[in-house]
Amino acid sequence: MVDSLNPFVVSGKIPPEYFCDRVEEAAQLEKSLRNQLNVVLTSARRMGKTSLVDFVFDKPEISENYITIVVDILHTTTFREFIMALGATVFENVATRSKKLRKQFVTLLKSVSASFGYDPILNVPTFDIRLGDLQNPEFTMGEIFSYLESVDKRCLVVIDANFVFSGSKRRLMDEMFFSSKRPFYQSAKNLPLEPIDKGVYLDFAMSNFKNANKNITEEAFSHVYDTFWGVTFYIQRIMKDAFAETKADDTCDLNLVKNLIEDYIDENDSRLREQLSYISESQKELLYAIHSEGQVQSITSAEFNKKHRLRSPSSTQSAALKLLEYDLITRKEKIYSLSDPLLKLWLDRKIV
């Protein structure tokens, strides 16, 4: 007997038949790109940004008519670093397609001519751009987009960024796309991804179980969805495990998913320990305090600092900035909370 293909994909590209919802977001992204509008795709971590881009770019009407470019700026904190990432991505995705395109790239990017080289082993040109090469990043960006306009096939550019409500990433995004001093001003559409609707996701899960002669209770799915705050990656992972553990003609119930969640926390124990080993004591103290409260509006208030024995409001503010930068906490409408539901579950175990 051949096992059923697991429909809950957690890595690589997702086949269209196993892609859950995102109908409206996919339509918006495709429409924006086909109308020559740059797109900034933002969301909380693990919400499915990359999967959505892959899904849209793999559509025949896109893949057959455009050169698609995804610029990942997760690790960039300055405009100069962004330009470095943009240049390297354009070279890799466009210039390497032919000798003609490489020659055009070298010719048009005069401001970084020292970054071009040649690999005698692979017998290919190289583009080794460094921060020091970017003396005038705005000018270099203009050269890059002039190059894209010169290509005989239209290019679609998606800039994929981790969404941080406060901290360096958000400031970078604001500076690049919403400052009148930058060339991108008012030229990019911000497309945020929110959690998939719970009812839609429930129908998707039940349908896929049913197609394999399996069942899942609404209670079980709801527990997974609520426990992980609707974050796509975590839901997919637990559903993938639940599907694998449920035999034909059997039902995945609440007890099974609870056990799978506990197993998943165990699986990530070492990683989370290591992640927290890199932050200072004052940052840990604040992280634990926010975890204890769930949501905090005024982290610098005397009441909050006294209750959790924090060092001082100024120390708390400094620690918060770092935790935001590390994406361990988030701030929305002046409310602070943990960013990662898995970290919250792990801390539930560790902190009594």
Bridging pattern class, strands 329-332 and 38-43: unpaired
Q: Indicate whether 17 belongs to any domain.
A: no
Q: Tokens 């590209």 appear where?
A: 13
Tokens describing residue 21: 């919802």
Distance CA 20, CA 22 (A): 7
34 plus 99 within the same structural domain: yes
84 plus 146 within the same structural domain: yes
In which domain, by residue range, is 214 found?
198-267
Q: Indicate whether 10 belongs to any domain.
A: no
Last residue of a domain, one of 267, 286, 306: 267
Tokens describing residue 334: 């002046």
Contacts of 102 by beta carbon, 8 Å cutoff, 6+ apart: 95, 96, 125
Number of domains, the chain: 3
38 plus 172 within the same structural domain: yes
CATH number at residue 280: 1.10.10.10
Which pLDDT tens digits describe the chain residue by residue (352 residues)? 345 689 999 998 999 999 999 999 999 999 988 888 878 787 888 999 989 999 999 999 999 999 998 888 777 878 888 888 999 999 999 999 998 999 899 889 888 876 777 777 777 778 887 877 788 888 998 999 999 999 999 998 887 775 433 334 555 566 666 666 665 666 677 888 999 999 999 999 999 999 999 999 999 999 999 999 999 999 999 999 999 999 999 999 999 999 999 999 999 999 999 999 999 999 999 999 999 999 999 999 999 999 999 999 999 999 999 999 888 999 988 899 999 999 999 999 987 6
Last residue of a domain, one of 176, 193, 210: 193
282 plus 339 within the same structural domain: yes
CATH number at residue 151: 3.40.50
Give the three-state DSSP class for 39.
strand
Last residue of a domain, one of 193, 220, 252: 193
For the chain, state the CA radius of gyration: 23
CATH number at residue 215: 1.10.8
- pTM for the whole thing? 0.86
89 plus 210 within the same structural domain: no
Distance CA 61, CA 65 (A): 6
Q: Under a CB-based contact definition with an 8 Å cutoff, are residues 56 and 156 in contact?
A: no
Distance CA 224, CA 254 (A): 9
Residue 178 CA to its chain's centroid (Å): 20
Which residues partner with 330 through β-bridges? 337
Distance CA 250, CA 108 (A): 62
122 plus 79 within the same structural domain: yes
236 plus 323 within the same structural domain: no
